[in-house]
Structure 1
Amino acid sequence: MTRIAVIGGGKIGEALISGLLHGGHSVRDLVVAEQYEPRAEDLATEYSIRVTTIADAAEGADVIVVAVKPADVDTVLTELGKVDLDSDREQLLVSLAAGIPTTRYEARLPAGFPVVRAMPNTPMLVGQGAGVITPGRHVKRGHLELVRSVLGTVGTVTTVPETMIDAATAVSGSGPAYFFLVVEAMIDAGVALGLTRATASELVVQTMVGTAAMLTESGESATELRAAVTSPGGTTAAAVRQLERGGLRTAFYDALTAARDRSAELGVAPE
């Protein structure tokens, strides 16, 4: 079994750990590095996983997953510099840190060390993630297949060129927050129209679940499905017309553009 070291026990690191365990990975082959002691204790209790230092976690791991905030990446690389990393034995690093390019890692790791940049999203916590990966200069086909097999236990995996990963981050990496916001807004609107919050929540959440299932299973596009439920002159048509008047499409375009640009900003190395 592939030995995986997760550096960083925050939300995205925990989501990966949880997803891997639910996907059949053994806790014996997982280790996490988390410096904040209360958080480390929580992870050890919740998942029965070994929590240790960055250097100890990386030593002997087949896959080193960096799941920290972008501002903490250089600290992680400094700690990894204390480890006898070996690209010849097929060790590789997978970065989940938003915005950080593969070249930033390659400049600090041993020559030829393979780096795969990845951007998952939090639905991997329930095995329904939508992740994208992009290979660094020293990545071989076997490395990509290994990363696909690891992340594939928690959702889908799509390969994109690194020039497109900031855009993919804006779409899927940040995407769950957009849907949560839409659900929140619909529930609030339902309450304003007189429904109890419990009823509005139940109706909105199941509508979202059912709609996602239709998109996945029907074979039809979102445009086709929307048209099918929008009868001329009906209630849905009135609602969609109002959303269009409110600039829904423009708002989403502007939001995703802002997310993409911020992802790119995060990748600029500090002076």
Structure 2
Amino acid sequence: MLSKRTNKIIIIALLGYLVFITYLVLSAINSELRPRTTVDANSFIYMFNEVQPFGVYSSFSLILALLIFPIVGSFAPIFIKNNNGITNVLQRSGYAKFLRKASWQTFLLGMSFSLLSEIFEIILINWNYAPIAFTNNSFYLGQFFNTFSKNSLIQLLAYMVTSSIGWGIFSVFIFACGLYIKKNPLFIVSGAVLGLILLLLPTLYGMMNYFLYAVANVTEISTLIAPGMISFAGQKAPGGIMIIWIISAILFALIAWILMMTWQKKQLRGK
């Protein structure tokens, strides 16, 4: 169970992020609403994509999401660890239960924050820009290399599910890294720092050859948390975006598990 103080922090973080999302979406809508602007079946999915992480209007919201989503579920257990409160926790549960509970809490909150923000964006777009509408063969989606489907309903649902799960996995990955970070201020910014590294680093080696290009598609953070929003090197993802996302999700989850197991063994050895 989360403490009342932790619950308050989570609620404040969520409300603060939703306030920012409101500003972002309404600003984007205001920029798009020009004289003689016509709204059609592609308008809704177009605006939804534009305000997603790595979308046209989302440079600052990406940083904010990287700061909030991975940290909101894991700051309490990491703070307990860093403030020597873990001894009392371990007396009641042990390392395995501590890690299991903390990782599930982190995953669920990271996923929930992403899903709630996307639902909120849909509501704002529906009320202020274009009604929720779908088409079987979207001309707008047809311009992208990496989509789950040209059917805008399938694309929307697939994106929301994969991106939310991706944020949950990335949150657990940050929690696992946080086990090795002893300073709370450093942990608070770790989501943004590691997220930006995982965004920029693959671009340095991804163009060397086709194998590294495939690796870069898997390791670039956009694949996990915003699948299809970036076409790496302007090309189609090897095997398609769903296959690449699944591999990316498994990879980050596996790395997180290895980091947690390594930390647990280190603690049991008393080092």
Larger relative contact order, structure 1 or 2 (CA cutoff 8 Å, min sep 6): 2
Taking structure 2 as the reference length, what is the TM-score of the superposition? 0.31
Specify which structure has the higher proportion of strand.
Answer: 1
Greater helix content: 2
TM-score w.r.t. length of structure 1 = 0.31
